[in-house]
């Protein structure tokens, strides 16, 4: 079993030195789901705070750009692209994010941060209507680039 890279040989936490790694194109996509009641979905267009889904999309983009400020050992990345798509369905809001960068380390945390903050923003924008809103299914869909190569999540049955 390989050692976790955020710990040194003595077990102390450290930021990984990526200075010797080549800059390569790296991508990541993540997912989250916000379960909303039919009543909340019905009231979304009239939300006095504005369009919750559009505000959540912008929040997700902003969050991806600030991931290293939120997750202590993440490296700051120069992001080439951040996309947040939110699709409203009968049961709630499906969030999918994608991040692209060229650098020495991956963008998985940025994609996951974008998805989670977008989900939290939907909650914040609709909590006055329903406190029982659930956020679930936060996961990495896929990533490309880097030493470990490509990863694609297997679909659950």
Which of these is catalytic: 8, 9, 17, 124? Answer: 124
Residue 101 CB neighbours (<10 A): 23
pLDDT of residue 1: 42
In 1-157, which ranges are E strands? 24-35, 79-88, 92-103, 134-144, 151-152
Which residue ranges of the chain lie beneath pLDDT 70? 1-7, 156-157
Annotation marks residue 124 as catalytic: yes
Domains of the chain and any CATH numbers: 26-144 (3.30.70.640)
pLDDT given at position 156: 67
- pLDDT tens for 126-149 read 999 999 999 999 999 999 998 888
């Amino acid at each position: 079993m390989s050692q976790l890279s955020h710990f040194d040989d003595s077990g102390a936490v450290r930021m990984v030195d990526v200075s010797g790694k080549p800059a390569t194109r790296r991508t990541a996509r993540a997912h989250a789901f916000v379960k909303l009641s039919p009543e909340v979905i019905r009231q979304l267009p009239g939300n006095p705070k504005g369009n919750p889904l559009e505000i959540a999309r912008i929040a997700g983009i902003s969050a991806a750009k600030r991931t290293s400020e939120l997750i202590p050992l993440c490296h700051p990345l120069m992001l080439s692209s951040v996309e947040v798509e939110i699709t409203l369905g009968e049961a709630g809001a499906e969030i999918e994010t994608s991040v692209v960068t060229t650098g020495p380390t991956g963008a998985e945390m940025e994609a996951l941060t974008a998805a989670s903050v977008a989900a939290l923003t939907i909650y914040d924008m609709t909590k006055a209507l329903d406190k029982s809103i659930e956020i679930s299914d936060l996961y990495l869909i896929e990533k490309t680039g880097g030493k470990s190569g490509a990863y694609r999540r297997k679909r659950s049955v």
